[in-house]
Structure 1
Amino acid sequence: MPELPEVETVRDGLDRLAVGAVVSDVEVFRDYSVRRHAGGPAGFADELRGRRLAAAVRRGKYLWLPLADQTEPAAALLAHLGMSGQLLVRDPAVVDDWTHPHLRVRLHLDGAPSGARYLDFVDQRTFGHLSVVDLAPTPDGAPGGHGSPLAAVPEPAAHIGRDPLDPAFDVDAVVAAVRRRRTGIKRALLDQTLLSGVGNIYADEALWRARLHFARATDRLRPVEVRRALDAATEVMTESLAQGGTSFDALYVNVNGESGYFARGLAVYGREGEPCPRCGTPVRRDAFMNRSSYTCPVCQPRPRAGRW
């Protein structure tokens, strides 16, 4: 599933290439891709026609485009990319009759700054979805996410914590909240109500940089250790963002259909048996929450029994 750097790469592309356009028409090719919209495909299309894409905004892994007409946006197009969802801005040079084999929804655009005709939602595995949702004010009065000064967030994302790259992210409050939990540090990093945007890949990379095992108990960690993990998560996601995110296959691309390249710089994730870049010890893989965790047994020693 795309994590913060991948979603931010898509957000940036939408901001440059599609924001400002007016939706002139909507085609829904697979009803399931708008299953979360209360009005169904017809209602989804009706709520988008004639609306201007006012901004492209992200909080954690949530991505939305506030919709404007003559007033301040009160609703937004919310995109959940799932495992394989892609938002592709179609270049005007591409012939009109081209369609992706997994095209699910197409927005026809007028007046896009790039001259794009379409914004396509492509989703091979169909876990992603689009919906038009109401915006709710942020409790702290700060912008809802990166990409807009509007102090509002989509109602389905209101419970999501701010991410480490958000200027309004309160690191001291998050450190305290993590230490109040009785869980493992990786589970805490993945808890989107505590902080958003960190997924399995970047949690493993951050914990390797912070020299912390994924099972270290949060209530036994010192504040400086939790802060070190958060700083490492910020660092690794910033570096990934500079390279367009992490791609392991063709399922993650930016709005131009290009892949990210941070996979080449991963230290431990997906590198079972390969040498740790820091000490040379073979990287270990452990089962974790129906997924995997990758650690260096020397740099990240497993906690002793009774100290999980």
Structure 2
Amino acid sequence: MPELPEVEVVRRGLVSWVLGRTITGVDVVDPRSVRRHALGPEDFAGNLEGATVLDIVRRGKFLWMPLQEAGAVAGEDAEPPKVALMAHLGMSGQLLMQDNAEPDEKHLKVRLWLSPRDGMPGQLRFVDQRIFGGLFVTSLVPTDDAGPGGLAEKPLPLIAEEAAHIARDPLDPHFSFGDFYRRLRSRKTGLKRALLDQGLVSGIGNIYADEALWRAKLHYARPTDTLRRAEAERVLTAAREVMLDALEAGGTSFDSLYVNVNGASGYFERSLDAYGREGEQCRRCAASGIVSLMRRDMFMNRSSYTCPVCQPRPRNGRW
């Protein structure tokens, strides 16, 4: 599943290639990929044709493009956007920029034609092998805290309706550590479960939770109601740092499904310290001359990777 850094890599690519362009045509190749648009493929296309992409916004792993509807007044007198094109990447969704002459991808689901711009491809294609993702048009609603909806080029206090329930992510300038820590301490759960709760802090998935916990020297089963403020700051700082490192590397790509808008894979997988390293030497312990092999535990139908020496399981860890 793509996590925050992978989605942010896509957002930045869309800013470079799609921002400010008008959608001149829509081809729904597979209606299953617009199934979240309740009124169907024809209404989906009708909402997009002639609309201009005003921005590319991300909160956590949610991504949307506010639209200026066809015929609306542009410039300083323009009204705030009312709708957005939302992209849910699911497990294998890709947004790819392609020239008009390029052959269709095997799993092409939706094609958007874009207004011409010198040196830029003319199509934005949604490709999805497993069909868990999709595109749909959604309403924009005011944010609860009157702050920007998410990371954007021209932030507005609006958020896609389907993303309104999720918390801000650690890379959001408006993220409040104080609010996060207060809510974290009020819960009786394990630390990793809390980090994966998108209503508490968004954007942290299984891979980056393991990496952040390893960097912070904390075990995934640490009860949240025992966490000291300095420890909570340590794990949030670690989460922020590991995601920034992943962004520099273009994200984490375990196979050809996770790519940017140009089809290039990220290479942060080579730098993972915890995730997927079962039976391998803990790098931190090795640097101190200690032999400690990373272990893998089943966790919420997934896996957690820890070092038994520098991330000891708490005696009262129940999760």
> Which band: TM-score by shorter chain?
over 0.9
Other structure's SS at 1:174 match: helix
CA distance in 2, matches of 1:306, 1:200: 19
Query: Of residues 83, 87, 100 in structure 1, which corresponds to 2:95?
Result: 87
Q: Is residue 209 of structure 2 the alignment partner of residue 200 of structure 1? A: no
Question: What is the TM-score when the length of structure 2 is the normalising length?
Answer: 0.93
Query: Of residues 293, 300, 313 in structure 2, which corresponds to 1:302?
Result: 313
CA distance in 1, matches of 2:118, 2:5: 24
- Shift >3 Å, 4+ stretches: 111-114, 305-308
Query: What do residues 228-275 of structure 1 show as CA deviations (whole Å, max 9, x unaligned)?
Result: 111110010011111110001001000000000111110010010000
Tell me the CA shift for residue 72 of structure 1.
2.4
Tell me the CA shift for residue 175 of structure 1.
1.1
8 A contact 2:190–2:317 mirrored in 1: no
Identity of aligned residues (%): 59
Q: Is residue 222 of structure 2 the alignment partner of residue 222 of structure 1? A: no
Distance change (3 Å), C-alpha of 1:162 and 1:68: same
Query: Of residues 213, 217, 223 in structure 1, which corresponds to 2:219?
Result: 213
CA distance in 1, matches of 2:235, 2:106: 41
Distance change (3 Å), C-alpha of 1:113 and 1:134: farther
| Count of residue correspondences | 305
Tell me the CA shift for residue 226 of structure 1.
1.2
8 A contact 2:111–2:123 mirrored in 1: yes
8 A contact 1:213–1:302 mirrored in 2: yes
Tell me the CA shift for residue 116 of structure 1.
2.1
Counterpart position of 2:140 = 135
Query: Of residues 186, 189, 193 in structure 1, which corresponds to 2:195?
Result: 189
Query: What do residues 100-150 of structure 1 show as CA deviations (whole Å, max 9, x unaligned)?
Result: 000000001113465321100000010001100000011111111111311
Counterpart position of 1:144 = 149
CA distance in 1, matches of 2:101, 2:131: 25
Q: Is residue 35 of structure 2 the alignment partner of residue 27 of structure 1? A: no
CA distance in 1, matches of 2:45, 2:294: 49
Q: Is residue 79 of structure 2 the alignment partner of residue 68 of structure 1? A: no
8 A contact 2:190–2:318 mirrored in 1: no
8 A contact 1:17–1:113 mirrored in 2: no
CA distance in 1, matches of 2:139, 2:21: 20
CA distance in 1, matches of 2:240, 2:316: 30
8 A contact 1:75–1:133 mirrored in 2: yes
Counterpart position of 2:41 = 41
Q: Is residue 51 of structure 2 the alignment partner of residue 51 of structure 1? A: yes
8 A contact 2:109–2:128 mirrored in 1: yes
Q: Is residue 105 of structure 2 the alignment partner of residue 100 of structure 1? A: yes
8 A contact 1:86–1:255 mirrored in 2: yes
Alignment-mate amino acid for residue 202 of structure 1: Y
List gaps (5 residues or longer) in structure 2. Answer: 73-78, 287-291
Tell me the CA shift for residue 306 of structure 1.
6.4
CA distance in 2, matches of 1:223, 1:186: 16
Alignment-mate amino acid for residue 46 of structure 1: G
Distance change (3 Å), C-alpha of 1:113 and 1:132: farther
Distance change (3 Å), C-alpha of 1:307 and 1:43: closer
Other structure's SS at 2:284 match: coil
Q: Is residue 125 of structure 2 the alignment partner of residue 120 of structure 1? A: yes
Other structure's SS at 1:87 match: strand
CA distance in 2, matches of 1:112, 1:140: 37
Counterpart position of 2:179 = 173
Alignment-mate amino acid for residue 313 of structure 2: R
Other structure's SS at 1:278 match: helix
Counterpart position of 2:281 = 275
